[in-house]
Structure 1
Amino acid sequence: MLIGEVARRSGVSTRMLRHYDSLGLVRPTGRTVGGYREYSGADIRRIFHVESLRSLGLSLRQIGRALEDPGFAPSVLVGDLIRRAEERLEREQELLGRLRTVEASAPVGWQGVLRIVELLRGLGSPSAARRQQAVLAPFEEVPVPTELLAAAVLAESDPNVAGALQWALARAGGDGVASVAAGVRAAEVDVRRRAVAAVAEMPGDEATAVLVGALGDADPVVRGQAALASGTRGVVAAVPALVAMVVEGTNDVEAAEVLGVLSVDPGCAERVVSALVEELAAGSATAAVRIRLTQAFVEMPAAVARGVLRRLAQDDDRVVAVVASALVGVVEEGAAG
């Protein structure tokens, strides 16, 4: 079969067939009287073998070795090809994500596209300072997609960069809460912590609802972040978690301050006092725990704290009684002032 017919039937161009011949990869077994290449059935089968191996990503040199060496073991080469293919896919996915981010920003003109690409490159920098600089750079003329900021804040481990991202996400408005809320339900505890910290910086009922949902998280840090943020917003459901923080000694001062804020509401004050008194009466409470619980009352309005502290000033635990007596004076002085 002449080269033109082989090209039509195989789909391999005559130019490529001549290239295969020059490399010794597929040499026609015969020549016509006029000197034209003439391919046998075995030659055509070899052409299809070559094309099949090319479809796997092998180079022509690798194909020649595979077809000529009877002892050639494909496992190592195939494994290498798999790794290369995975790397290409990763690069392509990264490019696709970058393009979708640019599209989502709806830039006006190429200047807007370049600004978004600049932000993407900055956020991908190994330098924390460079990432922070990229976040804080002004982008007034180009709206930064909240999805981009949310993905960055959920992945950021540096506290300074995370703070800048939280600030930028809070300013972005729109669906910023929805973009980061999925992180509150992530399997990775670090992602949940970053998500709650970001939502805590966002105003509005939607953010508050996300924080309330995180009060039952299995991780104490997530629960604590959610309790402090939601309690500051007047969420009574945060009381148990805040009291637990006082008991455990984890951010107990901040938790006591938030309990004091909640106690300004008479309807909530009774619940706060009951929860603290219940923990004080628990037989398992150590002296250190009872002191922290006692100290928490000083953050509350005098009308709420005075009576409890006076009772604690008569406590059987001498240390608790001394602390309570001192705090009665502080509370009364604050009320008088």
Structure 2
Amino acid sequence: MRNLLFIVFFLVPLLLLDGCSSMQMPAEIRSLSFLNTYESAVHDFKNGRVMEARKKLLAFDKNNPDFQRAQAFLRKTVEPARMRLLRTYLQRAEQAKKEKNWSVAVRNYQQAVNLSDHPAELKTKLAQAELALRQYRFEHLLRQRREEDRALLMALDALAGLRGLDAQDPVLVAEREYRMDRLEDRARDAYHEAMKHLRHGLPEMAYVAIESYLRLVPDSDQGKTLKRKILSQMPKGMVIPPMNKGVMVKKALNAHQKVTRKDIEALIRKGRYREAREAAIAYRRAGGSKGDELLEKVGHLMDRQAAAYYEKGRAAFRQEKLDEAVRYWRLAVELRPDRAEYVEALRRAELLKERLDMLR
């Protein structure tokens, strides 16, 4: 019974919120005949699922005893609300586009597409906004990566030919080896990062990584081959910013961060797990005792706390406490932004809350 209630009050609203009726739903949902009734359409509408309510009302047969009131509800309530929502999302999208706030523009164009019965033109605008978002993100991260690489290479070069020091000074040699190790690790990570982004359909992000790799390992044949493959898959219209040799380095990477085990344990006791994880990474990088073990401990604590927040959010959602659900899911995402189910639950809950606020 609990599973059935969860499906009805949690999965159904989340799956149907964007009008995703083409998605394959579990048999338990398809078998609930009351989902096709007039009352079900009204319930969908009151819970922000405008397009799902509209679809059900349009599907009524003329011989159905509820046909007349279904048509009246569609004409007098659902369609005006749909058009009001559509206009609002379009206005927000166009304003965000003017301000070059591309993530907001994309999000609102997506909602406008979902609410439109003739979405072809809106899909074109959505695609343009998505490309602009990707271009902006690409330029920013590419510039940042170039600056970071340049800072690291400059730091290495600064150790060469220091006046007053023997070139084989043991401390100097050890420091140079340490920095070389960091560059080798960075190059290896960049190559794997490029491969991963390419698999995930983000060739522009793969380019950021492979350019970095070739900057550090310029004679790599495998790097050059991968770069050609990446360039062949770049989105049409995306522009690669030229290298600016005069770019000033804003901030060099910190080679040493003084963090103690006690500092990390204090952060853990306070429940500041994200800060504890960052500190544990720095501690391990600096060669701290049992650094891997400490980092793993923090990771487990973050997993456990995020899962607890997620479950509290589900419980709140089932009780129709939407604000509380959003708050808990936001905390879960802050701890584990890589968990797709946490991110999706938060996204859909925030969208549902937004629509309900707009319909009131």
- Identify whether the pair has TM-score above 0.5, normalized to the shorter chain: no
**Pairwise TM-score range, normalised by the shorter structure:** under 0.3
TM-score normalised by length of structure 2: 0.22
Larger-gyration structure (1/2): 1
